[in-house]
Amino acid sequence: MSRFAVVLFLIFVVGCSAGPKVSSRPSDPGSTSTRGPIEVEIFDGVNARRAGGNLAALEWSEMLSALAGEHSDAMAAGQVPFGHAGIGARLGAALEAEGSQKGAENVSKQPRAASEVAPKSIERWLASDAHRKNMLGPYRTTGVGVSRAADGKYFVTQIFVQ
């Protein structure tokens, strides 16, 4: 068997047996996160707000991040309008994978510099009763996905699961 075939086999076996990657932070050593610094900043910012209210920190889920990222990608590409289109399917997949019965989602659109996306998204979510309730709700796991559209706007999705 060629080296290439062995590597593909190992990737398949490890990927199928590993289950969803959950860590305390997406940049932990050993994390397989494919997301970038904006996602980490949002994750850390939301957890800082939760800590201020004596709430438990959320754990990072790669599976939830992938679902969130797919939605942000679709919004950025104009395949779905900005908002919660398809939330039933996303949350259904998230709840089934996490063995939960409660989930929520926040989205944000930011026509700003990358350095402002996380703080402005969190600020807007805190200003909205429904979004604040999601951020500070009885959830244990989260995933964040951010995509940039061709016009420079950023689309953010954060999924929460109890």
pLDDT in tens, 107-151: 999 998 999 999 999 999 999 999 999 999 999 999 999 999 999
- d(CA 15, CA 108) in angstroms, rounded, equals 31
d(CA 7, CA 147): 30
- C-alpha 77/C-alpha 91 separation (Å) is 21
Q: Is the pLDDT of residue 17 over 90?
A: no
* In the chain, beta strands by DSSP E: 22-23, 59-61, 103-110, 141-148, 154-161
pLDDT at 21 over 60: no
Is the separation of the CB atoms in 57 and 91 below 8 Å? Answer: no
Global confidence as pTM: 0.80
Reported as a single tens digit per residue, the pLDDT across 63-84 is 999 999 999 999 999 999 999 9
